[in-house]
Amino acid sequence: MLRERVITNAKVVTANEVISGTVFLRDGRIDDISEGSSSLAAAEDWQGDYMIPGLIELHTDNLEKYMNPRPGVDWPSENAVLAHDAQIVGAAITTVFDALSIGDVNPKGKRLLQLPKMIEAISHAEGQGHTRAEHRLHLRCEVSHEKTLGIFEDLVGNNLVHLVSIMDHTPGQRQFVKYEKYREYYQGKYHLNDADMDAFIVLQKQNAERYSEGYRRRIVDICHERGLSLASHDDATSEHVHESAGFGMTIAEFPTTHEAAALSHQLGLKVLMGAPNVVRGGSHSGNIAAADLARQGVLDILSSDYYPASMLQSVRILNQSELGISLPDAVNMVSLAPARSANLPDRGQISPGLRADLVQVKDTGQQFVVQQVLREGKRVF
């Protein structure tokens, strides 16, 4: 049975322009776009609000907040997934890659214990149609951890896995070139005394020498064999970037220097930065500002990272700041660019033939407010 829907009086944000017009939906797809209003009695009037494509989130660890809402509290897994999903879709995100860490450098951490429960809960909720956004898995592989390769080989066959990132948080390189910054970050985060911190640094360096290079190459090979999208993480130097490009990676997550970001963009890796970086006006960890990369023309993708609502708000900031980024270009950073980088050709823009993943957005003059969200033409928020 055909399912038809007509939405009119909307500012339709396509990949290249904003059209005041009408969008026709058929069977969960965009059938046609026309300028002007429709006189059809069944047409839905969006009262001049924006219509943007559903946002595509490639890297969020937001689920962890629901799995462990307080220290020592383990929440029922599927209930946690559904609560996380509700926040995701309410933030205008219709496709989300839940980023799950393989290889926990935290000596007191529970991530590896939670990993099977999280994957089972996501898979079950998605398989049963209980989620409102579409959930996929992003495996974050800490190559300096002894168990990473084995766990990755066990999980990579899950049909929800579509993105893999290669991480290496060894002290003295990438995100933590300066040992004092590494010590400050991890000692504060994990509440280690000086002696424990010294031992922690020694262990991390030993593990990196033992595992990092071999694990990186093997994981990359497996991803190419399976046709999975690959992302680098925290590249800091031209050597890092050339290595990532040589491995056939398509995304550069959170480069830590202007040099690495510019070269990644030049070599065809899409530069991904955190939307909270844009909203806050800079990095919370003291690295480069996403707005500076936008100013240089080398910012391609925005991710909510730890705060889902930041994606939509960052679009407004980029568009209405002195940067002068057009609304279509800003929206592309959270829709079309991530879709293409993650090999999702059926979504990411408002265009005939693509999925009707659409969001009604009101501009209050101070912020963008989500009015409703459609996934494949069906209202889910």
Report how far Cα 250 is from the mean position of its chain's Cα atoms.
Answer: 14
Element at 32 (helix H, strand E): strand 29-35
136: in domain: yes
Predicted confidence band of residue 174 (pLDDT cuts 50, 70, 90): low
Predicted confidence band of residue 196 (pLDDT cuts 50, 70, 90): confident
d(CA 162, CA 226): 9
Reference 52, options 341, 340, 326, 345; nearest CA is: 326
pLDDT value, residue 177:
60
As to burial, measured by CB atoms within 10 angstroms (0-12 exposed, 13-18 middle, 19+ buried), residue 39 is: exposed
The CATH number of whichever domain residue 242 belongs to comes to 3.20.20.140
Backbone angles phi, psi at 65, to 5 degrees: -65, -35
33: in domain: no
d(CA 243, CA 291): 26
Residue 177: CB partners within 8 Å, gap ≥ 6?
A: 236
Question: Whole domain around residue 206: which residue ranges?
Answer: 53-348
Mapping DSSP to helix (H, G, I), strand (E, B) and coil, where does residue 130 land? coil
Q: Tell me what the mean pLDDT of segment 281-309 comes to.
A: 89
Encode pLDDT of 197-238 as tens digits: 777 778 777 878 888 899 999 999 999 999 999 999 999 999
Using the predicted structure, report yes or no on whether residue 105 has a pLDDT greater than 70.
Answer: no
d(CA 345, CA 95): 13
Using the predicted structure, report yes or no on whether residue 69 has a pLDDT greater than 80.
Answer: yes
Predicted confidence band of residue 109 (pLDDT cuts 50, 70, 90): low
Parallel, antiparallel or unpaired: strands 358-363 and 368-375? antiparallel
Bridge partners (DSSP) listed for residue 173: 176
Predicted confidence band of residue 108 (pLDDT cuts 50, 70, 90): low
355: in domain: no
d(CA 166, CA 61): 16
Choice between 244 and 111, residue whose per-residue pLDDT is larger: 244
223: in domain: yes
Note whether 164 and 154 are within 8 A (CB).
no
Encode pLDDT of 124-163 as tens digits: 999 999 999 999 999 999 998 889 999 999 999 999 999 9
Choice between 1 and 245, residue whose per-residue pLDDT is larger: 245
Reference 167, options 236, 238, 120; nearest CA is: 236
379: in domain: no
The whole model's pTM is what? 0.92
d(CA 150, CA 102): 10
Count of C-beta atoms within a 10 Å radius of residue 62: 22
Mean pLDDT, all residues of the chain: 91
Helix 148-155 vs helix 111-127: crossing angle, to nearest 10: 10
Residue 272: CB partners within 8 Å, gap ≥ 6?
A: 58, 59, 231, 251, 252, 253, 254, 300, 301, 302, 303, 338, 341
82: in domain: yes
Total domains in the chain come to 1
Buried residues in 322-358 as b, exposed as e (16+ CB within 10 A) = eeebebbbbbbbbbbbbbbbbebeebbbbeeebbbbb
pLDDT value, residue 114:
84
d(CA 245, CA 250): 8
d(CA 304, CA 316): 14
Report how far Cα 146 is from the mean position of its chain's Cα atoms.
Answer: 26
pLDDT value, residue 1:
41
Residue 66: CB partners within 8 Å, gap ≥ 6?
A: 75, 80, 81, 83, 84
Give the Å distances, CA to CA, from 109 to 189, 254, 306: 11, 23, 18
> Could you give the percent of the chain with pLDDT greater than 90?
75
Q: What single string gives the DSSP state of each residue in 309-341?
A: THHHHHHHHHHHSTT---HHHHHHTTTHHHHHH
Q: What single string gives the DSSP state of each residue in 181-245?
A: HHHHHHHHHHT--HHHHHHHHHHHHHHIIIIIHHHHHHHHHHHHHHT-EEEEES--SHHHHHHHH
Choice between 265 and 184, residue whose per-residue pLDDT is larger: 265
142: in domain: yes
Backbone angles phi, psi at 71, to 5 degrees: -55, 130
304: in domain: yes
Q: Which amino acid is at 360?
A: Q
Using the predicted structure, report yes or no on whether residue 193 has a pLDDT greater than 60.
Answer: yes
